[in-house]
Amino acid sequence: MDNRAIGVFDSGLGGLTVVKELHNILPNENIVYLGDTGRIPYGSRSKETIIKYSMQDIQFLKGNDIKLIVAACGTVSSTLPKEISQNLGVPYVDVVFPSAQEACARTSHGRIGVIGTAASIRSNAYGKTIHSLRDDVHVFANPCPLLVHLVENGMIEPDNQITRLTVEMYLKPLIEESIDTLILGCTHYPIIYDIFNQVLNYRVTLIDPGKCAAQYVKKVLSREQLLTDRTEPGVTQYNVTDQVSGFQQTASLFLGETVSGTLNQVELV
Ligand code: DGL
């Protein structure tokens, strides 16, 4: 048993879709969240910059005495080399492996689509992981650079025509490949889950990285005997690198609940 917090980080608020699922399935765990809101987006940056920023995020979390680190960001998960992520001194969970595993388990015809930021798709991390699990499936990927901005700007209503048209444009080549399963390979995307479903006529299985990663965290904590033995609800500490004003309102959309817990603006070194 271990009552230290779970550390979760993202380039911004998308990682809160992982926190939401952790709240659902591990309600007694404490969480320390870091959103690097001052430097979002990561997805359009070079590999070197993404690794540098990720290391600073991880250092911050490690300074908060955490027992496990979750890279709640498709971009970081796709980019951070294993030599780094497997030598952090605490278990590390990303969103790529759990999502790839779920897609491989659920695909009906072996035609899996992947969408994500430019950096995630360029790395082919999802494709490589899927093929390491199953060599009999086809993977079709398309970067969707505009979606993070639309989501961060609150254009998330199911009837938002701009977001819907953008999703249609990005999914067209994948629909033409008759995908049966789609990995939402960026933690911002589950916020517009309904729009994806509408554009795909509810015919494609959507893989939510937040849900998959949270289940995987539970599995790892249980396997490593690191689950809390607290019986009361855990507390979440939110940290951002840009101003905190407006955070409560936007964050509650990602969390699906009112933000409760402390909120700090922090500087990364
Ligand atoms: N949440 C990030 C991801 O999952 C996307 C935002 C960014 O580009 O930094 O890839």
| Per-residue pLDDT reduced to its tens digit, 201-239 | 999 999 999 999 999 999 999 999 999 999 999 999 999
* Ligand 1 atom nearest to CA at 148: 6
Residue 75: CB within 6 Å of ligand 1?
yes
pLDDT at 247 over 90: no
As a whole number of angstroms, the distance between CA 154 and CA 161 comes to: 13
Local confidence band at 189 (pLDDT 50, 70, 90 cut-offs): very high
pLDDT of residue 35: 96
Report percent pLDDT > 70 for the chain: 100
Phi-psi region of 154 (alpha: psi -120 to 50; beta: other; left: phi over 0): left
Give the whole-angstrom CA distance, residue 73 versus residue 61: 15
The yes-or-no answer on residue 73 being catalytic is yes
**Whether the CB of 54 sits within 6 Å of ligand 1:** no
Ligand 1 within 6 A of CB of 17: no
Judge whether residue 48 has pLDDT over 90.
Answer: yes
- The answer, yes or no, to whether any atom of ligand 1 lies below 6 A from the CB of 14, is yes
Give the integer Cα–Cα distance in Å for 203 and 217. 29
Query: Which tops the pLDDT comparison, 200 or 260?
Result: 200
Whether residue 144 lies in the annotated active site: no
The reported pLDDT for the residue numbered 154 is: 86
**pLDDT at position 250:** 87
Residue 229 CA to ligand 1 center (angstroms) comes to 33
Query: So what's the pLDDT on residue 236?
Result: 97
Residue by residue, DSSP assigns 33-45 as EEE-TTT---TTS
Ligand 1 centroid from CA 161, angstroms: 22
pTM for the full predicted model: 0.96
| Average confidence (pLDDT) over 190-211 | 97
Other Cβ atoms closer than 10 A to 247: 18
Q: Is the CB of 187 under 6 A from ligand 1?
A: yes
pLDDT digits (tens, 9 = 90+) for 120-170: 999 999 999 999 999 999 999 999 999 999 998 889 999 999 999 999 999
Q: What is the pLDDT of residue 118?
A: 97
> Which is catalytic among the residues 73, 104, 144, 212?
73
Q: Looking at ligand 1, which residue's alpha carbon is closest to its atom 8? A: 43
Q: Please provide the average confidence, as pLDDT, over all residues in the chain.
A: 96
**What was the pLDDT predicted at 161?**
97
- The residue that leads in pLDDT, 247 or 203, is 203
Residue 122 to residue 15: CA distance in whole angstroms: 21
